[in-house]
Structure 1
């Protein structure tokens, strides 16, 4: 118990120390033009985004604490059922989040539209689903004490607000709305100039991504998760809106964002603002659409597996009924676990 308290205090001190750095780097997005396009500099110019890093590390510490508590308090077979690849998926999501916040990806996202699109693709297409594959809600329910579980976690998961945002049409609307609204030139330029707006933008993308992928691949139980056909339809909508925005940004004859057009006049390296915008649209098209398409293939695979399981199960039960001399029913009412 004493060791646990020491660890918690050390974690709190670490987070407090990082939080103290926030004022020193709060203006990191103000005039962060890189001095040259040298490849070595591009790989070594890192920037500390304090608010995002503090929240990311807090999320990681909470997950580690929950997993350690799960392993300490539950029997080995229960821990085994919480597959080890889930913490690995969550850790990968955390690592990618830190990479997108402090690496040259974040540094050059203010200077180049296509780098900013890489950042957005990471948040929406990789970080959000990887965090969900870590089954954080299931971990919280299993690791928490009965009092904490019944007082805080269960009411939160069953809250009307969360259920509202997890309603499939609302979750899709949040994702699509976040993508389109933050690409409105006025808001986009404002987010480039403001650390606070930039943080809100990325937080909105992460929230929208979490809500969306919860419906599609979330491993935590939810009665709101739609069936296979509905999930495929949702993904098709996501693909179409992604293609539409990419086509819009590609087809315009001039740079849509004044911030990048102005920065083009201040640097002597890199593509023009219009070419930069079209490269970014291509990144939105190809990797973004590929992730949605991959999710469609995964759902089709599990759908086929689901139907194959039902068919084998029904054949087995029918054979057992025939051997026992019982009447054979044409359809079995219960279903296998839904994926």
Structure 2
């Protein structure tokens, strides 16, 4: 299970970074958002499942890095890289694009690891904190996705772009990207928070019998 999750997460990263980003239409905001969601809402949780509890689980060595702190780091990373000036720099330079994607992966992976990993001691409290962290992330992604979808004017340029071979106007491209964030990011983090809460509050077996 862990190996399969790790392999699937790495495969998803490869598809997003090697195929979709360079060949789908790098200048398209929709492509950017598809790649972004593939990284933070697809690959990151899969990698976290594969790494949690093992020596590569950084939250075991960093017990102070709680889900609340991780969710705030994710907030800064997501909103910071979606400022218009940051988008312009990322579109103009592959080096900045690589830095952007590395930031997304690091922030997303640390958030999911802080929720799913860590030492066995205190796991229930971490899961409850993780529920808050994931639900908070779902909320701010919902807000950003809604702002992008409902903005009366494009924030990231006015030129037409190509998305998987289809020409889109700047406003439509931005709105489609916002919808991707709403449908994928917000939903995945919400579902993760609900499942984590269910796990934390569910029945547990002890050596002396059942609860």
Regarding TM over 0.5, the answer is: yes
Between 1 and 2, higher relative CO (CA 8 Å, sep ≥ 6) is seen in 2
Q: 1:272 aligns with which of 148, 151, 169?
A: 169
Following the alignment from structure 1 to structure 2, what is the Cα–Cα distance between the partners of residues 127 and 303?
A: 23
Q: TM-score, normalised by structure 2?
A: 0.85
Q: State whether residues 128 and 206 of structure 1, in contact with CA within 8 Å, keep that contact through their aligned partners in structure 2.
A: yes
Return the index of the structure with the highest Cα Rg.
Answer: 1
Q: Does 1:86 align with 2:2?
A: yes
Q: Does 1:167 align with 2:63?
A: no
Q: State whether residues 127 and 197 of structure 2, in contact with CA within 8 Å, keep that contact through their aligned partners in structure 1.
A: yes
Q: State whether residues 40 and 104 of structure 2, in contact with CA within 8 Å, keep that contact through their aligned partners in structure 1.
A: yes
Q: TM-score, normalised by structure 1?
A: 0.55
Q: 2:184 aligns with which of 271, 279, 287?
A: 287
> CA RMSD of the aligned region, Å?
2.8
Offset at 1:105? 4.0
Q: 2:209 — aligned with what? A: 313
Q: Does 1:237 align with 2:136?
A: yes
Structure 1 residues not aligned, in runs of 5+: 1-84, 142-152, 316-339
Offset at 1:230? 2.5
Following the alignment from structure 1 to structure 2, what is the Cα–Cα distance between the partners of residues 299 and 96?
A: 23
Q: 1:19 — aligned with what? A: none
SS in 2 for 1:255: coil
Offset at 1:300? 3.2
Superposed, 1:1-339 pairs within 5 Å as 85-135=1-51, 138=54, 158=61, 162=62, 166-218=65-117, 220-221=118-119, 226-258=125-157, 261-264=158-161, 269-305=166-202, 307=203, 309=205, 313=209
Q: State whether residues 109 and 119 of structure 1, in contact with CA within 8 Å, keep that contact through their aligned partners in structure 2.
A: no
Following the alignment from structure 2 to structure 1, what is the Cα–Cα distance between the partners of residues 153 and 200?
A: 45
Offset at 1:139? 5.1
Following the alignment from structure 1 to structure 2, what is the Cα–Cα distance between the partners of residues 174 and 206?
A: 12
Q: Classify 1:200/1:250 alpha carbon distance in 2 versus 1 (closer, same or farther; 3 Å).
A: same
SS in 1 for 2:159: helix
**Greater strand percent: which structure?**
2
Q: State whether residues 114 and 279 of structure 1, in contact with CA within 8 Å, keep that contact through their aligned partners in structure 2.
A: yes
Offset at 1:296? 2.3
Following the alignment from structure 2 to structure 1, what is the Cα–Cα distance between the partners of residues 85 and 45?
A: 29
Structure 2 residues not aligned, in runs of 5+: none
Q: Classify 1:95/1:187 alpha carbon distance in 2 versus 1 (closer, same or farther; 3 Å).
A: same
SS in 2 for 1:270: strand
